Structure 1
Amino acid sequence: MAYGFDTLQIHAGARPDPATGARQTPIYQTTAYVFRDAEHAAALFNLQEVGYIYSRLTNPTVAVLQERVATLEGGAGAVCCSSGHAAQIMALFPLMEPGRNVVVSTRLYGGSITQFSQTIKRFGWSAKFVDIDDMDAISAAIDDDTRAIFCESIANPGGHIADLDAIAKVADQAGLPLIVDNTSATPFLCRPIEHGATLVVHSMTKYLTGNGTVTGGVVVDSGTFDWSASDKFPSLSQPEPAYHGLKFHETFGPLAFTFHGIAVGLRDLGMTLNPQAAHYTLMGIETLSLRMERHCENAVRVAEWLENDDRIAGVTYAGLKSSPYNDRMAKICPRGAGGLFTVALKGGYDSCVKLVDNLELFSHVANLGDTRSLIIHSASTTHRQLTPEQQKAAGAAPDVVRISIGTEDANDIIADLDQALSKAAN
């Protein structure tokens, strides 16, 4: 039976605990698991049998979360890890080698831009930044050493919606996987795999958990990419020395990337999600659709109010009819444009700082996707390490604040912004 999203977000991956009958997924707070016998242990370590060995690799609580997110995204499998940034490295790890590059959108979260422009150089990798709306620029940036294209479905902070179908076509023509960060949209608003994405990553810290309690990341594998079609991805297509010459794609087929992520990625990088964090995230996902509906409903009301306010220079929300991405929303995110956008103030940098300092209901934090409304001045915080040109390209210019609209009463959100804007204008 094909269940709807609201049902799957509660039930996918979860079954009553066989030992106790517990209805909620237990927190399996354990490091290791007892093998039935020596033969069982050997089979697990040889990847001949699926099971639990050590919680750096696999854990029953985390396994439920992996299955649930993979199901909601329409993927074949998933690998959970310790944060969204960890998920991005985990996604690239099987694909890259020293000297290889990834083509990346300029419209990314500031920390992601820093990770791609600076940190991955330490692995001998590099990134080529392009306007993700320019298909010719994407094609021109691809060379013999390119191993992936990376973008966000709904960009943080600006709310830009990527034309995933067009980008996927470019990736397919080049024989490359498309990696989509779906954090801001969640699978309730956008399912990138249906638009041609190969891998989907999330910072589960945000909307999936939804309550600002834990950090977590996940990589979802579509299971549709042919890793053996070329010699570009030897980690997946060629013999793996650590497993006696096993070829992941040949052996595991659609689950090749998922098994590699666990058997090699988590084994050696160790960016493991702890079971308690997985439990919090599972509970959050149970109400994902309800929360996202309210986030979107509130965001439309607040964005429309801001757009008509004389103190505001501009609002980037794609849910506004005036947005250049409003038509794209109907194709990529038909249920709504999310709860994240930026607001430019006519008073510039100083007014942004005053606005942040005078809000009462909003929380000034470096996070998004909470049930609480959140605000931050990106240019002086999350995007501080970027050049002015990079800040502008990412939608985080000095006269802009990023707003994450929560699930409170929309009238209260508007009232708080109104009183703080009055103080910011003085």
Structure 2
Amino acid sequence: MLVGQETEISIIHDGHVTSAEGFYAGGVHCGLRRKKLDFGWLFSSVPAAAAAVYTKNSFQAAPLKVTKDSISKEHKLQALVINSANANACTGETGMVNALNMRKQAADAMGLGEHLVGVSSTGLIGVQLPMDKIEKGMMSINPAAVDPEAFEQAILTTDTKTKHTAVEILIDGKPIIIGGAAKGSGMIHPNMATMLAYMTTDADVEADALQHLLSRATDKTYNMITVDGDSSTNDTVVALANGKKGNHPLSPSHPEWEKFSEAFRLVSEILAKKIAGDGEGATKLIEVMVKGAATSDSAGKIAKAVISSNLVKTAVYGADPNWGRVVCAVGYSEEPVEPDSVDVFLGDIQVVENGLPSEFSEQEGISYLDQQEISVVVDLKQGDGKATAWGCDLTYEYVKINASYRT
């Protein structure tokens, strides 16, 4: 795959979070779920520069706070432990004690200092962790395990599939790998969502630069997806760079920083799109691209307004080329728009020209919306700002899943 004019980024076939040198992962069933894997770990052979972004929900879960505390010590992590089925959110002092105990037990199991361990949980809110089962998972940790699929299965909740990718680029003449794994299916409307993502690289990256890079990539990828308009309590993206390839430390002053940045953004985008496409009950991935906006920030807000519209999402589900729902969402985005200049396309089919309906075949529109991947393009013709957002259709199955989530 070629990105830009000179930057060659190779997507690794079946790449995983352990594709980068020095990273290990595994997962087991410890009893939090009936049969499925529910406890996973990610381990680096050496302490890695660490960066993270978190949900902006005021009810931040205890594991998130523990991970934030660990990273604040030295801006490094060497391991993460994650459980599914139970979010350990809205669980008060007991929940915090349990999250701290998870960190301590994992550190003891892997022979690490506690400040080098991060903790994540995902699942049901408001229920205390059954620590006896968590301890069972801790006893199964094998830092040398190379089973990324088990790790990816262990972190899922209502997801229907695992989400992983990896890419390779040359930095300082050395083959650098960036890999990642994620989970997320419902309560997706970043900043951020009920999603967890873990990114790994064997590049040497300065911690401050890694944090800046992750924050910037998140704004363009993870924060540009939506499933249902709900933001959760546990959302975390963690990036680890262990420097095993021995390149010159990467920062904005490095001559190949932009090359690395683009590869990092690409991994983030691939994972984000996999989350959006696996939305609860979803049958279609929707991409909304807004161009010609006054600014890129404005374009981003308009794209999120369109992708978040339940009427747009249901129209796509029903294969109804109802472009009125798109322009309606553009209009209520509260961003500057000149209605008489707006064009809208469904794929290659122009449905609106200069704010007025275009002549198009209704059947062609229906046939296009029957596909599994849908593109909506909005051209405002006001400037150079552009942005892309991703989401999914809204189906009967989504209601069924969430109407009985606890029962």
Question: Which TM-score tier does this pair reach, normalised by the shorter chain?
Answer: under 0.3
What TM-score results when the alignment is normalised by the length of structure 2? 0.26
Q: Which has the higher strand share?
A: 2
What TM-score results when the alignment is normalised by the length of structure 1? 0.25
Q: Which has the higher helix share?
A: 1
